C-alpha cells in the first residue's frame, strides 16, 4: 500500500504525462456517423502503468491512436506532456528485410540519433529485452515471442532518445501486444514487460481485453463501455497478494459482463 500512497503524493505535484478531457471521436459524417468514444476523461501520471480494459468495439484502439497522434479527436482535448510515445501493436510489425539489430537501429535513426551512438544504444536495448546475441537474425528466423521483444526494444528506442525531448517523461502505448501469443510466452513477456517498466520508469498505457492481464500488469485498471466508449469505472490496485488480485479479477469480470449484457437488448 505504501507504493500507492507515494504514487498519489507525486500525482498531486507532477503534471500528468497524458490527459484526455471530454474526448469524443466519431467516424463517418452526418446521420451515418458512428461514435467510437463519447466523452472520455483520463489522466496518466509519469511512470504510471494504466490498463485500458473493454470488450470489442469499446474504442480502445481508437483511444490509443488518438494519444499516439495517428488520428485526431472530433471534440475534446488530448494533452501529451511526454517525449514521442513508443507504440507497440498486436503484431510485432518488424521490417522483414532488416535484422533485429537493424530494426531497432531504424527507430533510433528516424529519431535522429547519431550513427556512433546508435550501435551502442541498440546493444543496450537488446540486452534489456534479453535478446543478446540474436541481433543478426531476421524476423522470420525468430519466434513470435522474440519478435515481440524486438518490437519492445524498438518501441523503447524512441522513448529514451531525442535531445529536444530530454527531461520529458516517456510514454509507451501498447495495443494488445501479447494477445497473439500462446499462454506461456504471454506469461513470460508480461513478466519481462514489468521488469522493463521498472527499469525504465516509463509511463504505460496498455490496452487489453484480458481482465487477468490487466490486473496483473496495471497499477490502475480503467474499464471502458462499448459503442460508444466511455469510462465506466476504474480500480486502483494496491494490494498485490494473489487473494486480493483474484478478488479484483472477479469483480472486474462481473462488471465487464454487465457492460456486455447491456448491449444484448
Partner 1 sequence: MPPEGSQQIDGAPVAVADYGAVGAGLDALERPTQPRTRADRLRTITRSVLPPLVAIVLVIAVWQALWAAAFWPEFQLPAPKAVGAELWRDITSGAVFGQLWVSVHRAVFGFLIGLVIATPLGLLLAKVRIVRAAIGPLLSGLQSLPSVAWVPAAILWFGITPGAIYFVVLLGSVPSIANGLVSGIDQIPPILPRVGKVLGAGRFAGARHIILPAALPGYVAGLKQGWAFSWRSLMAAELIANSPQLGQGLGQYLENGRSLSDMPTVMAAIVLILFVGIGIDLLVFRPLERRVLHSRGLTGSA
What is the closest distance, in whole angstroms, from the C-beta atom of residue 92 to partner 1 in the complex? 9
- Calculate the CA 70 to chain-centre distance: 15
| 219 interacts with partner 1 by CB under 8 A | yes
Interface characters, 224-263, with partner 1 (x: CB under 8 A): -------------xx-xxx---------------------
Rounded to whole angstroms, how far apart are CA atoms 209 and 243? 21
What is the closest distance, in whole angstroms, from the C-beta atom of residue 96 to partner 1 in the complex? 4
| 140 interacts with partner 1 by CB under 8 A | yes
Site residue total, partner 1 (CB under 8 A): 56
What is the closest distance, in whole angstroms, from the C-beta atom of residue 10 to partner 1 in the complex? 7
Q: Taking the chain, what is the end-to-end CA distance rounded to the nearest angstrom?
A: 41
**25 bridge partner residues:** 37
78 and 245 Cβ atoms separated by less than 8 Å: no
Binder among 35, 168, 188, 231 for partner 1 (CB under 8 A): 188
Tell me which stretch binds partner 1 (CB under 8 A): 29-37, 53-61, 106-114, 222-230. 106-114
Reported as type and span, the H/E element at residue 6 is helix 2-13
| 29 interacts with partner 1 by CB under 8 A | no
The total of other beta-carbon atoms located within 10 Å of residue 114's CB is 9
Per DSSP, 85 falls in state P
| 180 interacts with partner 1 by CB under 8 A | no
The total of other beta-carbon atoms located within 10 Å of residue 54's CB is 24
Residue 186: what are its φ and ψ, rounded to 5°? -60, -45
Strands in 45-146 per DSSP E: 49-53, 75-80, 86-88
Rounded to whole angstroms, how far apart are CA atoms 207 and 55? 11
131 and 139 Cβ atoms separated by less than 8 Å: no
Rounded to whole angstroms, how far apart are CA atoms 84 and 172? 9
Tell me which stretch binds partner 1 (CB under 8 A): 52-60, 73-81, 143-151, 221-229. 143-151
Binder among 35, 43, 93, 160 for partner 1 (CB under 8 A): 93
Interface characters, 68-87, with partner 1 (x: CB under 8 A): x-x-------------xxxx
Binder among 19, 24, 130, 227 for partner 1 (CB under 8 A): 130
* Site for partner 1, rule CB under 8 A: 3, 6-7, 10, 47-49, 68, 70, 84-87, 89, 91, 93, 95-97, 106-107, 109-111, 130, 134, 138-146, 154, 158, 184-185, 187-189, 191-192, 194-195, 197-198, 201, 216, 219, 237-238, 240-242
Amino acid at each position: 500500500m505504501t507504493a500507492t500512497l507515494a504514487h498519489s503524493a507525486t500525482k498531486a505535484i507532477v503534471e500528468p504525462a497524458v490527459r484526455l478531457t471530454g474526448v469524443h471521436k466519431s467516424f463517418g459524417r452526418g446521420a451515418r456517423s458512428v461514435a467510437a468514444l463519447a466523452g472520455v476523461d483520463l489522466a496518466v501520471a509519469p511512470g504510471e502503468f494504466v490498463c485500458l480494459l473493454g470488450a470489442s468495439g469499446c474504442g480502445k484502439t481508437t483511444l490509443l491512436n488518438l494519444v499516439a497522434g495517428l488520428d485526431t479527436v472530433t471534440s475534446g482535448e488530448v494533452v501529451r506532456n511526454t517525449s514521442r510515445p513508443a507504440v507497440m501493436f498486436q503484431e510485432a510489425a518488424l521490417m522483414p528485410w532488416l535484422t533485429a539489430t537493424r530494426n531497432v537501429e531504424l527507430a533510433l535513426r528516424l529519431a535522429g540519433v547519431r550513427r556512433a551512438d546508435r550501435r551502442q544504444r541498440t546493444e543496450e536495448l537488446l540486452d534489456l529485452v534479453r535478446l543478446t546475441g540474436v541481433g543478426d537474425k531476421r524476423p522470420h528466423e525468430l519466434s513470435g515471442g522474440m519478435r515481440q521483444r524486438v518490437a519492445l526494444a524498438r518501441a523503447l528506442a524512441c522513448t529514451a532518445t531525442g535531445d529536444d525531448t530530454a527531461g520529458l517523461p516517456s510514454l509507451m502505448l501498447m495495443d494488445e501486444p501479447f494477445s497473439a501469443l500462446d499462454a506461456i510466452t504471454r506469461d513470460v513477456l508480461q513478466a519481462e514487460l514489468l521488469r522493463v517498466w521498472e527499469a525504465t520508469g516509463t509511463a504505460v498505457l496498455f490496452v487489453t481485453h484480458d481482465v487477468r492481464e490487466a490486473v496483473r500488469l496495471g497499477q490502475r485498471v480503467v474499464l471502458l463501455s462499448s459503442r460508444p466508449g466511455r469510462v465506466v469505472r476504474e480500480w486502483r490496485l494496491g494490494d498485490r497478494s494473489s487473494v486480493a488480485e483474484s478478488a479484483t479479477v472477479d469483480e472486474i469480470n462481473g462488471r465487464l459482463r454487465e457492460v456486455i449484457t447491456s448491449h444484448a437488448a
